[in-house]
Amino acid sequence: MEDRRDGNAGGLSGWVAERAGEWDLSGPDEKALQRQKFFWNMLVDYWFRMEIDGWENIGKPPALLVGIHSGAPFVWDAWTVGLQWWRRFGTERTLHGTAHDALMAIPGFGRYFRAMGVLPAAPDAIATALAEGHDVALWPGGEVDSLRPWSERDQANLAGRTGFVKMAIRAGVPIVPIATVGGADAMPVLIRGDRLSRVLRLDKLLRLKVFPLAISLPWGIAPAALPQLPLPAKIRTRFMPAVELDNDPARADDDEYVDRKYHEVEDSIQRGMDALARKRALPVFG
């Protein structure tokens, strides 16, 4: 399948849209996952010491999983959900992650993301996957969420983007909120860089509204977009009870209803994050 985007877009933004628009529903490459599993197992079990629960809240497929994530462009707490899903379900139940256009367009990165079953965070790609019975994990807050300052690490931020509620209504699927804490410790963001993004015109060129500075290895304090090694972090993740929706497609045009369900999802994520944050033994990497 391919996302048919605006063919009139030119320059860098047009190139990004064109490259990001390439996708299919084949799901994660099983052979690639088998080759990488020892690396990911070590990372998840020993470096991130990941704890995950709430599997009982995931019903029959398909479902739209909605969460928050940290540390873009690598969002370790999103990748770890994907690995744990594969550990539990194998090839029996496909989960597609989603990623920003700018990441899907980068040579090398984009190919790897696609091999792992990642889709562009575009309505047609997500709707098609759900229609085919595949689960999809979506991070509506995008770069605003994943690059929030470390001081806001335990705050759920879906950036006011309600499109995921409309997609779930039209697809007739429930929303499963994902709460997670600890991922921000892998790359603590010092400043968001909203103004810097506008000065560099990244908001126009790449649809990036922030250009943050973070603490990372081996750079120290540097732009968060640089390739980096994650700091050790204790990641805790919980699947929250599903938010059921009225499947009447007309509800997608009811702004009051959509807004209410948006806040229901965001509030559920926040409750989960609050509970997980209370389990910290140490204020950093805990």
Chain segment 38-91, per-residue pLDDT in tens: 999 999 999 999 999 999 999 999 999 999 999 877 889 999 999 999 999 998
Residue tagged 């389990």 (tokens): 279
Of 126, 142, 140, which is closest to residue 203 (Cα–Cα)? 142
Q: Which residues contact 201 (CB under 8 A, 6 or more apart)?
A: none
Residues in the chain: 286
Q: Which two tokens stand for residue 91?
A: 């090839």
* 3-state SS, residue 174: coil
pLDDT, average across residues 157-181: 97
What pLDDT, on a 0 to 100 scale, did the predictor assign at position 5? 46
Output 106 or 2, whichever has higher pLDDT: 106
pLDDT attached to residue 247: 84
Query: Which of 3.40.1130, 2.60.40, 1.10.10, 1.10.287 is the CATH number of 11-277?
Result: 3.40.1130
Distances (CA, A) of 247 to 94, 165, 175, 242, 267: 23, 11, 12, 14, 21
Residue 200 CA to residue 211 CA, distance in Å, equals: 9
pLDDT at 284: 87
Q: What sign does the dihedral 145-22-104-101 (CA atoms) show?
A: negative
Phi-psi category of 159—alpha, beta or left, where left has phi over 0 and alpha has psi -120 to 50? left
Return the pLDDT at 21.
Answer: 61
**pLDDT band at residue 29 under the 50/70/90 scheme:** confident
Confidence (pLDDT) at 14: 56
Which pLDDT tens digit goes with each residue over 95-153? 999 987 777 777 777 788 888 889 988 888 999 999 999 999 999 998 889 888 999 99
The answer for residues whose C-beta is within 8 angstroms of residue 107's C-beta and 6 or more apart is none
Which two three-digit tokens encode residue 129? 């996957």
What is the spatial distance between Cα 220 and Cα 227, in angstroms, rounded to a whole number?
A: 12
Top-confidence range, 2-11, 122-131, 202-211, 232-241: 232-241
Tens digits of residue pLDDT in 244-260: 999 899 999 999 999 99
Q: What is the percent of the chain with per-residue pLDDT over 90, rounded to a whole number?
A: 62
Q: How much is the pLDDT for 120?
A: 86
- Structure tokens that stand for 63 in this block: 């479902």
pLDDT band for position 7 (50/70/90)?
A: very low
> 């699947």: which residue's tokens?
239
